[in-house]
Amino acid sequence: MAFPQDRPRRMRRTEALRALVRETTLAPDDLVWPLFAVPGQRVRNAVKSMPGVFQLSVDELVAEAQAGYEAGVRSVILFGVPEKKDAAGTEAYADDGIIPRAVRALKQKVPGLVVMTDVCMCEYTDHGHCGILRPSRAGVPEEAWRRAQGQPDEAAPKRAGGSGGPHPPELMVDNDLTLPLLAREAVAHARAGADIVAPSDMMDGRVAAIRKGLDESGFSDVPILSYAAKFAGAFYGPFRDAAESAPREGAGIPKDRKGYQMDPANAREALREVALDVAEGADMVMVKPAVPYLDIVRMVRERYEIPVAAYHVSGEYAMIKAAAQAGWIDEARVVLETLLCIRRAGADFVLTYCARDAARLLTGGRR
Ligand SMILES: [Zn+2]
């Protein structure tokens, strides 16, 4: 007599049997390695909250990417820390900015590498927000607004909340002022040789603006990976040390990104965000963070045919590293299990600071 309930166990008897029926695979090709570019030469600043992660000058970054490539990681995504920051994030779209310089060096030294670039303003603005700030009119009566405009000394954004006029204006990110700058930034990256541009700013309409900018500049073959569902939350803390991009404290400056990133409580909204980005021309979409949001990854996977990425973010990485350093978990096994589970949820590829280590584990150092 057959006992169907025995069947799963029968299929787990040997490693070869388990491999035969395995539903999900994890390979170095599924991984994208985030790297941080900083000005200078031979700079290798350890990021304290992310053991094993460094801010790298372009020469060091090329060497790091080369080592990753040799381990099997064939894609990187670049974040830049500029020479200087200003309110308009000027270095973000400069042709000789830190990212175009890094891209050109990588394309020359590691030609087989897929180079993605993060497209955003927060690493380049002195206030640390993902777009241009302007005073908000919401909640300010018409007359008070006009008075504030006529009295720049009392109501100038810089002094907002200080000695102030009758209605010190709160600052907010100006979505539409930011769009053309993001397009210019993407074009600067493409001109340097970027294979994929990845807007992470969460401004409305940015995918369309970037697509148009790229097409008009002759880069219609550069795909867009949009950070479509990027949740505001606490998992990005260590990244902001690495990219030096935390919102600065100051009068009127929004203290967080909840005005444009998503509420962790919302899943259906994530689908609406993805729908918009797909309609605007995103070639691939990303969910970020990864592990706490695997339900979102799964929902997006089921609803869309385009490639889905998940970003295993700095806080997720830091927690694994901290527990491993304390001797509480087996780091290698936890890393591989984590990445495999992100794939199982439906991600085609995973952006992770564990990329090179995971690739070495997966190939058993055979490379
Ligand atoms: Zn940003």
- Known catalytic membership, residue 288: yes
Q: Is the dihedral of CA 205, 209, 214, 215 positive or negative?
A: positive
Predicted confidence at residue 250, as pLDDT, reads 82
Q: How far is CA 116 from the centre of its chain?
A: 10
Q: How far is the CA of 60 from the centre of ligand 1 (A)?
A: 24
**91 and 98 Cβ atoms separated by less than 8 Å:** yes
135-147: average pLDDT: 76
Crossing angle between the packed helical segments 175-192 and 98-109, to the nearest 10 degrees: 30
Query: How far is the centre of ligand 1, averaged over its atoms, from the C-alpha of 130 (Å)?
Result: 4
Q: What is the pLDDT of residues 267-311, one digit of tens each?
A: 999 999 999 999 999 999 999 999 999 999 999 999 999 999 999
- Above 70 in pLDDT, residue 159? no
How far, in Å, from the CA of 120 to the mean position of ligand 1?
5
Q: How confident is the model at residue 151 (pLDDT cuts 50, 70, 90)?
A: low
Task: Let me know if 321 is a catalytic residue.
Answer: no
Which residue, among 282, 353, 275, 349, has the nearest Cα to 309 in the 3D structure?
349
The single-letter DSSP state of residue 90 is G
Distance CA 292, CA 125 (A): 29
Q: What is the pLDDT of residues 210-257, one digit of tens each?
A: 999 999 999 999 999 999 999 998 999 898 888 888 888 887 888 888
The mean pLDDT of 151-162, rounded to a whole number, is: 47
If pLDDT is split at 50, 70 and 90, which confidence band does 265 have? very high
Q: Distance from CA of residue 69 to its chain's centroid?
A: 20
Q: Which of 48, 230, 258, 321 is catalytic?
A: 230
Quote the pLDDT of residue 298. Answer: 98
